[in-house]
């Protein structure tokens, strides 16, 4: 992850270039559709975790309060328990580093886009103040070919809704994972989705750049390792969630 923030002009230029490349890549749409149909028939469908999607870590009071909202990784698809999800792991890391107690909860569902999150998940957010919200979205928006304007507009609407529901002190936009490295995805579909992930990441960074209450944390570890994935080759496994939480904690801890 860069040690210094990129300038607004650099972010704008990068985003513009990625939008052009992503648009050009759509020339392969007929082949992508064929590969996508094959994947839906051959890829195992893993369940979301069952049981409570909340927990707490003992420590000094007052506790840090964390909320995770988003798509299938936050819903724990492929994991044995919600304690293995990135938001639970992040709460553990921050509690260890601060000595404070921590409480975490998750509002998430597999398959949702940012628009779905606003319509279906945001109303489920409890009306309780929190210290941090982790937004984990983007993979399904890549699959749905969500454009930059719709993505940023959806995030802005979600941020406004979160401010009304739970008034977070800090919101973290988790980076869209490098989909070009997902083991299950064949080429050229993987390349096209990886390009769209980079585009949405650039759009998230552009949105977060002028704000002090919002930070975008891209994934900076090697996404090509099969050890990071569940058996479907698409969702992160418990080890992948743990590495993800470590990276997030490094970026977040100084701000809390």
d(CA 135, CA 66): 11
Taking only the tens place, the pLDDT of each residue in 50-87 is: 989 999 999 999 999 999 999 999 999 999 999 999 99
CA angle 228, 230, 233 (to 5 degrees): 85
In the chain, the largest separation of any two C-alpha atoms, in whole Å, equals 57
With 50 as the cut, is the pLDDT of residue 124 above it? yes
> Domains of the chain: which residue ranges?
8-43+55-255
Q: In this structure, what token pair is assigned to residue 61?
A: 């009071």
Domain 8-43+55-255, CATH 3.40.50.1110 — does that match?
yes
- Beta-carbon neighbour count of residue 114 at 10 Å? 26
Q: Work out the angle between the directed axes of helices 189-208 and 8-25 (0-180°, nearest 10).
A: 150
- Provide the whole-model pTM: 0.90
d(CA 78, CA 171): 26
pLDDT of residue 15: 83
pLDDT of residue 180: 93
> For 17-34, what is the mean pLDDT?
77
With 60 as the cut, is the pLDDT of residue 194 above it? yes
Please report the beta strands in the chain, taking only residues with DSSP state E, as ranges in sequence order. 54-57, 60-70, 100-108, 132-136, 170-174, 214-217
For residue 7, name the pLDDT band (cuts at 50, 70, 90).
low
Residue for token pair 């993800």: 244
d(CA 163, CA 149): 21
With 80 as the cut, is the pLDDT of residue 163 above it? yes
With 60 as the cut, is the pLDDT of residue 247 above it? yes
């Amino acid at each position: 992850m860069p040690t210094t923030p990129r300038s607004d002009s650099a972010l704008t230029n990068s985003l513009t270039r990625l939008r052009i490349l992503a648009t050009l890549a759509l020339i392969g749409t007929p082949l992508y559709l064929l590969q996508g149909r094959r994947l839906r028939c051959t890829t195992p469908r893993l369940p979301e975790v069952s049981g409570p999607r909340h927990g707490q870590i003992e420590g000094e009071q007052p506790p840090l309060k964390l909320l995770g909202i988003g798509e299938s990784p936050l819903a724990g698809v492929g994991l044995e328990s919600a304690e293995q999800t990135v938001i639970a792991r992040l709460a553990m890391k921050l509690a260890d580093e601060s000595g404070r107690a921590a409480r975490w909860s998750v509002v998430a569902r597999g398959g949702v886009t940012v628009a779905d999150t606003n319509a279906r998940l945001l109303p489920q957010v409890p009306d309780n103040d929190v210290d941090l919200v982790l937004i984990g979205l983007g993979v399904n928006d890549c699959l749905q070919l969500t454009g930059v304007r719709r993505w940023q507009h959806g995030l802005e609407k979600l941020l406004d809704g979160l401010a009304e529901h739970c008034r977070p002190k800090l919101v973290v936009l988790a980076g869209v994972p490098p989909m070009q490295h997902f083991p299950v995805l064949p080429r050229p579909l993987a390349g096209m989705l990886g390009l769209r992930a980079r585009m949405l990441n650039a759009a998230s960074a552009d949105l977060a750049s002028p704000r002090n209450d919002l930070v975008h944390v891209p994934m900076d570890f090697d996404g090509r390792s099969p050890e990071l994935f569940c058996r479907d080759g698409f969702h992160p496994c418990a080890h992948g969630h743990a590495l993800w939480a470590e990276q997030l904690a490094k970026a977040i801890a100084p701000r809390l």
